[in-house]
Amino acid sequence: MNVRFVLNGRPAAVDAPPSSRLLDVLRGALGLTGTKEGCGEGECGSCTVLLDGAPVNACLVLFGQVEGRAVTTVEGLGDPEHLSPLQEAFVKEGGAQCGICTPGFLVSAEALLAAIPQPGETDIREALAGNLCRCTGYQRIVEAVRAAAKERTSREPG
Amino acid sequence: MSLAELPLHAFERPASLAEACATLSRRAGKGEETVLVAGGTDWIVSQRLAPLSLGGELPLVLDVSRVPELLGVKIAGERAVIGAAATYLEVRHHAVLTRRVPMLTAMARDVGAVQIQARGTLGGNLATASPAADGSAALMALDADVVLASVLGERRVPIGQWFTGYRRTARAADEILVRVEFTLPKSGAHQLWRKVGTRAAQSISKVALAAVGEYERGRCVRVGLGMGSVAPVTVALPTVRALAVSPGPLAVPDDQLDAAVQRDIAPIDDVRSTAAYRAHVASTLVRGFFRTLRPVSNAG
């Protein structure tokens, strides 16, 4: 089945079985391996992508369900030459260690900052509660999100 | 087949409720199985745990996540109407529900984490009928009606008759869950949502209590309760409800209340908790709610 949707801001049409997981189509047919598979059952958040702006686990979305919708992966946030403020903050604040969970955290944090530009600590921890990290102890990640929020605000004119 | 791949089910996305009903009717008539998928947070995981269907045809997957008749939250007078495919996130952020049914929106905030809330639905929670379902406990406390549709028309099932056994419901194979409806609690009602689990997010409840106590002229006239993870189905705690109205929350001694709770539940030991712990927590939660029903400021 040819599924048409918007991928990282651009129209896409992909011929893949509609009952495959969005995660497998992203990583396989589309070669977008930034999205990671951790648990494969919606617990760890490593495969978090945005579906019409809301963070979802790509392991729990059937590919046919994204027809006509907008999907944003970590590749849509920035690239190595043009990191997003969040990605820069994760680098600067030590928000990434082994890195397997990092794309999921970035995507969840992106959704948070879009909804709440100046989140408090509780907002950040709740927004990231569906993403597990076994390295950092989370503190550096929370600090990175806070730093990115500050940076984004200071960049805005006026 | 790679373990990363689900078995390749046929997949259809009906554009309307009528189309979904027609497909269900046609297939049910031929004895063919159809799986209705909305958020997929339960079904897709179950496929991963047992990915190979041994023999026979794979069921048709019907994506109902965007069937228009199943979408949205509406308030009509004192009635709330929640589409079966409305997500927990929509419920959580709904202004009227937040004001009038904080117990329900607190539940929606406690389910999974935001990634699950953005996909999971109350319809799915009712349809999969897990005894640990938080949404089902909340809807039980609200004495909601479950509305089903088929090619024959609509059918309304009181939630008290919805769960017919462990993971079994009153839905027939040719029916689709369209919406749930309930009357908004009276203003000033005492409401409680308490979920006891291993952490604040992403945990399946060891015990959950949803409760509403409504008053008229200072007298408790209705108590709605729903409890999860303490029996093969979500329970309404009927003996406890009756005590709250007569003799009334002020007049029930704790030991009588505890006995009523234990009569209404049937907890077991499983991977998440023990029967003894669940029995203890169930009594503690109900006592806690009854204390909020007692007008302490007027009592002394």
ipTM: 0.95
Tokens of B157: 């099932």
Instruction: Answer whether residue B230 shows pLDDT above 80.
Output: yes
Q: Is A20 on the interface with B (CB under 8 A)?
A: yes
If you average pLDDT over residues B108-136, what whole number do you get?
A: 97
The predicted pLDDT at position B218 comes to 84
What pLDDT is stored for residue B217 in this prediction?
87
Q: What is the pLDDT of residues B58-110, one digit of tens each?
A: 999 999 999 999 999 999 999 999 999 999 999 999 999 999 999 999 999 99
Rounded to a whole number of angstroms, the distance from the CA of B233 to the nearest CA of chain A is 24
Q: Residue B47: what pLDDT?
A: 85
Q: How confident is the model at residue B300 (pLDDT cuts 50, 70, 90)?
A: very low
Query: What pLDDT shows up at residue A153?
Result: 78
What is the pLDDT confidence band of residue B7, given thresholds at 50, 70 and 90? Answer: low
Q: What is the pLDDT of residue B297?
A: 43
pLDDT of residue B3: 47
B119 contacts A19? CB cut-off 8 A: no
Q: What is the structure's pLDDT at B55?
A: 58
Question: Is it the case that residue B2 has pLDDT exceeding 60?
Answer: no
Q: What count of CB pairs under 8 Å joins A to B?
A: 95
Whether residue B11 and residue A19 make contact (CB cut-off 8 A), yes or no, is: yes
Does residue A78 belong to the interface with chain B, where contact is any CB pair within 8 Å? no
DSSP notation for chain B: --TTSPP---EE--SSHHHHHHHHHHHHHTT--EEEESS-TTHHHHHHHS----SSPPPEEEE-TT-GGG--EEEETTEEEEETT-BHHHHHT-HHHHHH-HHHHHHHHHSS-HHHHTT-BHHHHHHHT-TT-HHHHHHHHTTPEEEEEETTEEEEEEGGGTEEETTEES--TT-EEEEEEEEPPPTT-EEEEEEE-SSSSS---SEEEEEEEEEETTEEEEEEEEEESSSSS-B--HHHHHHHHTT-GGG--HHHHHHHHHHH------SS--HHHHHHHHHHHHHHHHHHHS-HHHH-
Contacts of A131 in chain B (CB under 8 A): 113
User: Which pLDDT score, from 0 to 100, does residue B57 have?
Assistant: 80
Closest-approach residue (CA) in chain B for A69: B66
pLDDT at A46 exceeding the cut of 70 = yes
Rg (CA), chain B: 20
pLDDT digits (tens, 9 = 90+) for B247-273: 988 899 999 999 999 999 999 999 999
Q: How confident is the model at residue A37 (pLDDT cuts 50, 70, 90)?
A: very high
Lowest mean per-residue pLDDT among A9-18, B2-11, B139-148, B168-177:
B2-11
Chain B positions touching A62 (Cβ under 8 A) are 11, 37, 40, 44, 61, 63
Whether chain B has a CB inside 8 Å of the CB on A18: the answer is yes
pLDDT of res. A134: 95
CB contact under 8 A, A60 and B39: yes
Per-residue model confidence (pLDDT) at position B199: 82
Query: Would the pLDDT of A157 be above 80?
Result: no
DSSP H or E segment with residue A54? strand A54-57
Asked if the C-beta of A40 comes within 8 angstroms of chain B's C-beta atoms, the answer is yes
- Under 8 Å CB-to-CB from B285, ≥6 apart: which residues? B194, B196, B207, B209, B227
C-beta atoms of B11 and A62 within 8 A: yes
Could you report the per-residue pLDDT of A89-148, keeping only the tens digit for each?
999 999 999 999 999 999 999 999 999 999 999 999 999 999 999 999 999 999 999 999
